Structure 1
Amino acid sequence: MKILYGVQATGNGHISRARAMEPYLTQAGAQVDYLFSGREPSQFFDMQQFGNYSVKRGLTFITEAGRVNYWQSIKQASLRQLWQDITQLDVSGYDLVITDFEPISAHAARRAGKRSVALGHQYAFLHQIPMQHANLMTQLVFKHFAPAQTQLGLHWHHFNQPILPPIIDGALDSAEVKDHKVLVYLPFEQQQQVISMLTPLTDYQFYLYGPGLTAASLGHIHTHPPALQPFKNDLASCRFVLSNAGFELISEALQLSKRIMVKPLNGQMEQHSNALALQQLNLASTTDSLNSQTIASWLSATQAYHQVHYPNVAKAISQWLLQGAEGEVAALCRQLWR
């Protein structure tokens, strides 16, 4: 089977899901071409796994100081280029198009009448799940931004809906956990402000990853530019994870039984809804604003959280797809949640 796999590259979580899916699609005998959009080509890193992938401009949201800047997002969008990329993408040679909230591959498949499957967290929002700041516009975006004939939504709980568990990187390593080690990933915040908040908390060792950072040790704060394996290593060995409320990192942290606090990206409905779900499921702490005292209180708290363990969703989906997607999505969901 020949597959075109479109990935929304605005956030690293979409790419992480593709990394988890790639070996199982390959093992199942699929030939997969990858298309990424929503990020400048120079900002990709550790992409050897995807072979000779292609990059398109696509659409992305612009963030400033922890908040979505909708005006700049609209100003920098090129709908003409998006339409050209959609109309010029030839999907005739593929048996299947997979889209992880990637609009070019999704709409090219729709125009060509090509069999398509949407895979990702955003498609869970087409169902009755915890939502905050939802409105007609957000629902239209989830429904029409990157549509497909079949949708496989992912979430931390099924909420009695046909939703699958998260896709977790099967290469996550176990490691000796260091009790005072904190992984910090707040890419939408101003990194110098994050460093200032962490500076007074000298009882902990912070490993901070973010755009624009260089590899350096500032006493108890260790800064790193984006990097795949070092980040995975620090995730495996940390006790705490402090991050925005993106889906994939939190999924991996839950699987590894980390203590988590999230600060959702202001103005981003998906992240606010993720924070709400984490609260309702008693899986993590949440905050709408960060300061040294808030972080210190979370680190010293003894609150017990529910523990989770998710199955190998990437393998199950790959097998299901390569077997012709036989059977209803609801049946696949029930199988995986068992």
Structure 2
Amino acid sequence: MKFAFIIQGEGRGHQTQSISLAEMLISNGHEVAVALVGTINPKKLPILLQEKGNFKMETFQSPSLVYDPKTKALSLPKTVKNALPNLRKYISSIQKIKRIIDQHQPDIIINFYDFLGGLYTAFCNPKAQVICIGHQYLLLNKNFNHPKNHWFDKQIVNFNTRITALGADKLLALSFSEFPDDKSIRTVPPLLRNELVYYSTENHGYILVYLTQAELVTEIFEYASENPQIQFEVFIDKVINEVPENVHINPISSSVFIQKMTKCSGIISTAGFESICEAMYLGKPALMVPIKKHYEQLCNAHDAERAGAGIYAPKIDVELFLAYLKQDNIRNHQDWINQSESIFMRELGLSNVDSTSEKILAI
């Protein structure tokens, strides 16, 4: 089978998923002909895909989320404001996607939650089967327990998710743990990198910190300055010159991040799906602190807490996390994640299991 990927390239989650699925497909004798990567700057390929991408890649300009530098919260008005002037560029992006897909003639197109990828499917009606993959599709499942008092946020996130899924044949919802299917939404394990299975875990006593919003690191610095006995390994995409002596800043690197995670006592993260899944697989508890007004991350944090990954907190609370670590809450999540290959091969129709489904025109 020949595959083409459409990848939402902002953040490491969807990139990691695409790399993992490509490894799985190639090892089973299939081909990933091309990956189209949506990014705010189409002249620059995301770092993770530069390091680990094992397929041909083309970039296109796609909308991205914008955060308020003062409040550190996701800003929907600024996100919309930044996107509107680029509408013509987005139309050109859809045309580029169509041109490259037509050139390669794949059997199956995988959309890793790209907004323009959904519009391409809706408007261009490709001949290939289209399958959408992302943890966000679990939020459309009627069995998902949404956080209370966030009705409007839920509608906005689910509206965006439905756009990415327009015209798709199937939705594969990545989940921290086993979860009931809902009609066309099939629940599948996380897509984690194969290299994870080769790492042994230790505990060197430091806390790993991964923040997708660099401004939040000031809260770690304040705590570290007052508690020099606690060591921190921090990953952020920003150059910082002055840091407390017990804080080590690491540039974003997928391989170094995993190596550091295997030796930490726990991880503090802004509730990104992939990082929490990796921590779960390695048996590292997590403190999940969603970015303000980021409903998707709020859902991740609550659902991961349900699955036993760690604890949710509205703000970085190191003392709370240290108390949690003393409770020895480590659970084994590898059984579910290790089923990933067999389940994906089945859902992609690459095994003997019948995976036919109807087109999703409206969800």
Distance 1:272 1:320, change over 3 A: closer
Distance 1:315 1:290, change over 3 A: same
SS in 1 for 2:132: strand
Q: Check if 1:64 corresponds to 2:68.
A: yes
**Contact between 1:106 and 1:116, CA under 8 Å: does it hold in 2?**
no
Residues 27-65 of structure 1 deviation map (CA, whole Å, 9 limit, x = unaligned): 222133111113434472141534441111111111235
Q: How does 1:120-199 map to 2 (within 5 A)?
A: 120-127=134-141, 128-132=143-147, 133-134=150-151, 135-147=154-166, 148-161=168-181, 162-172=186-196, 173-190=198-215, 191-199=217-225
SS in 2 for 1:223: strand
**Contact between 1:213 and 1:224, CA under 8 Å: does it hold in 2?**
no
Q: How does 1:232-243 map to 2 (within 5 A)?
A: 232-243=258-269
Distance 1:137 1:228, change over 3 A: closer
**Contact between 1:97 and 1:106, CA under 8 Å: does it hold in 2?**
no
Name 1:333's counterpart in structure 2: none
What is the Cα-based RMSD across aligned positions, in Å?
2.6
CA distance in 2, matches of 1:182, 1:254: 15
Residues 193-226 of structure 1 deviation map (CA, whole Å, 9 limit, x = unaligned): 4322333232332110001136998422110111
Distance 1:321 1:292, change over 3 A: closer
Gaps of 5+ in 1: 331-338
Name 2:26's counterpart in structure 1: 26
CA distance in 1, matches of 2:352, 2:121: 17
TM-score normalised according to structure 1 size: 0.87
Which of 296, 303, 321 aligns to 1:270? It is 296
SS in 2 for 1:82: helix
TM-score normalised according to structure 2 size: 0.82
Q: How does 1:304-323 map to 2 (within 5 A)?
A: 304-309=329-334, 310-314=337-341, 316-318=343-345, 320-321=347-348, 323=350
CA distance in 1, matches of 2:210, 2:191: 20
Q: How does 1:198-277 map to 2 (within 5 A)?
A: 198-213=224-239, 218-277=244-303
Residues 176-198 of structure 1 deviation map (CA, whole Å, 9 limit, x = unaligned): 41241211001224133432233
Distance 1:329 1:303, change over 3 A: farther
Name 2:113's counterpart in structure 1: 101
* Greater CA drift, 199-208 or 288-297: 288-297
CA distance in 1, matches of 2:235, 2:270: 12
Name 2:82's counterpart in structure 1: 76
CA distance in 2, matches of 1:43, 1:295: 35
* Greater CA drift, 287-296 or 271-280: 287-296
Gaps of 5+ in 2: 358-363
CA distance in 1, matches of 2:263, 2:109: 37
SS in 2 for 1:64: coil
**Contact between 2:17 and 2:192, CA under 8 Å: does it hold in 1?**
yes
Deviation at 1:229, TM superposition (A): 1.2
SS in 2 for 1:151: strand
Distance 1:206 1:43, change over 3 A: farther
Residues 68-117 of structure 1 deviation map (CA, whole Å, 9 limit, x = unaligned): 01122111112332122113422232222100101333332332333200
Deviation at 1:290, TM superposition (A): 2.0
Deviation at 1:321, TM superposition (A): 2.7
Distance 1:223 1:295, change over 3 A: same
Distance 1:34 1:214, change over 3 A: farther
**Contact between 1:24 and 1:315, CA under 8 Å: does it hold in 2?**
no
> What is the aligned length?
329
CA distance in 2, matches of 1:278, 1:291: 17
**Contact between 2:22 and 2:32, CA under 8 Å: does it hold in 1?**
no
Runs (4 or more) in structure 1 with deviation over 6 Å come to none
